[in-house]
Structure formats: C-alpha cells, structure tokens
Amino acid sequence: MPEDAPETVLSVCTTCRATGDTAEPRAGARLLAALRAEADREPVPGLRIEGAECLSVCKRPCTVAVASPGRWTYVYGDFDALECAEESARIILAGLRNYQKTPDGLVPWRERPEAFRKGVVARIPPLTAARGDTAS
C-alpha cells in the first residue's frame, strides 16, 4: 500500500486489569507487548498498534479497538493476557488481516475469529459511510 494510505489503528487498553490480578505491568500492557512482538514477527500491512489509556470497557478486560478510515470501528473485549497473551495476540492479528481485506470493515460472520464473535463490545459506522440517509 502507498506510504500515505490511511492506516488502520489498533488501540490496546493498557489500563485493563484481569479480574483479581494486581500484578504490574497490567494485563492490558502485557497484551500490548504481545501484540507488538507478534506484529514484528508477522507484520500486518497498514496496521499501527497503540496503547490507549482506558477504553471504558472496564468490565470486560482485556479490551482492544480497531478503527480505519472508511471502515466500521469495532471494540472487542474478554481477551486473556495472563495465561497466554501470545495466543490472544495471534487471534487478534489474524482477525485484523481479514478486516484489512474488506473495503468497509465488515468481515463475513464465519470468517471472524470466535473471539471476535463472542467478544464484540460495540461497532460504530464509518464517518464517511455511503449510507442512504447520509444527506443531512
């Protein structure tokens, strides 16, 4: 993709703690580190991974959000980052590879990782949506 192409941004909540876990770094920060390591190992073209201070989904740690110009935004929760953060990272990045292949972010249900199906917290239409009622 061209260098100036709009990027997809994966925001990883670094404030998330696993239930009952008081360790530092927090589960969310550990998930962020695992995602960066996995993306270094097997890059996802056009994806930028960032830490975010609280995505306000505190009851469903760990939480991530993916946003991309012209695509639906998704928020996912319930990711483990204590037992196997690497596995969570692989699942998330595999899901984002499918997301990147779509023009609008809408991946067919069967092609979504189970963790995305069960863990979806919310989705938000793109600002540039070409919907029927966009004329204001």
Calculate the CA 96 to chain-centre distance: 7
**Binding flag, residue 102, a copy of itself (CB under 8 A):** no
- Residue from 5, 25, 45, 48 touching a copy of itself (CB under 8 A): that is 48
- Backbone φ and ψ for 109, nearest 5 degrees, come out as -50, -45
Residue 120 binds to a copy of itself (criterion: CB under 8 A): yes
Q: Is 92 helix (H, G, I), strand (E, B) or coil?
A: helix
Residue 9: phi, psi to the nearest 5?
A: -115, 125
* Least distance between a copy of itself and beta carbon 133 (Å): 6
Under a CB-based contact definition with an 8 Å cutoff, are residues 107 and 56 in contact? no
Question: What span, in angstroms and rounded, lies between the C-alpha atoms of 119 and 136?
Answer: 33
Q: Is 50 in the site for a copy of itself (CB under 8 A)?
A: yes
Q: Does residue 42 belong to the site contacting a copy of itself (CB under 8 A)?
A: no
Site track for a copy of itself across 81-100, x = CB under 8 A = --------------------
Residues that bind a copy of itself (CB under 8 A): 6-7, 9, 11, 48, 50-52, 54-57, 63, 65, 67-69, 73-75, 120-125, 127, 129, 131, 133-134, 136
